[in-house]
Amino acid sequence: MGVGLFILIVLWTVVIMTGLLTMQWSKGGPITAGTVVLASLVTIILILIPRGKITNESTDQVDEYFIPRITMLCVMSLSVILGGVFWFIMRCVQPIYAKQTSSLFHGINYGNYQAYKGS
């Protein structure tokens, strides 16, 4: 876990936030597409150009932070999933309230309306 991994995490977080913020704009599509292309190029560059020398020496190393890292990954994944669900509920599934009927029919002439009122 080097600096490049954190650069990618921050970069893709900014891309996702930019996409979510510009989703409602009429000209937000090119901005989002541009950030995705730029982030993809940076990701490809960071993957293809390694920083250090790659060796095939096998050494017995113990990862002391395996369990805390997996725990943090699970908590972060759960928070992203719950955040997406809550965003979907609050943004996309908005309630539609009915209008009052008195305001809908105010001032409309229905002809012989008095006959239906029982008089």
pLDDT the model gives residue 19: 85
Three-class SS state of 61: coil
Statement: residue 20 has pLDDT above 90: no
Three-class SS state of 57: coil
Residue 80 included in any domain: yes
Instruction: In whole angstroms, give the CA distance from residue 101 to residue 4.
Output: 61
Range of the domain at 42: 3-51+66-103
- Burial-class residue 91 by CB neighbours within 10 Å (0-12, 13-18, 19+): exposed
Per-residue pLDDT reduced to its tens digit, 95-109: 777 776 665 555 555
Instruction: In whole angstroms, give the CA distance from residue 46 to residue 38.
Output: 12
> Is 40 in contact with 1 (CB distance < 8 Å)?
no
pLDDT the model gives residue 111: 57
Residue 47 included in any domain: yes
- Above pLDDT 90, what percent of the chain? 14
Count of beta carbons in the 10 Å neighbourhood of residue 35: 19
Residue 113 included in any domain: no
Q: Which amino acid belongs to residue 66? A: F
Q: Which amino acid belongs to residue 118? A: G
Domain count, the chain: 1
Residue 119 included in any domain: no
Residue 85 included in any domain: yes
Per-residue pLDDT reduced to its tens digit, 39-65: 999 899 888 887 667 677 767 777 788
pTM for the full model? 0.44
Residue 60 included in any domain: no
Q: What angle is formed at CA 9 by the lines to CA 33 and CA 61, rounded to 5 degrees?
A: 145
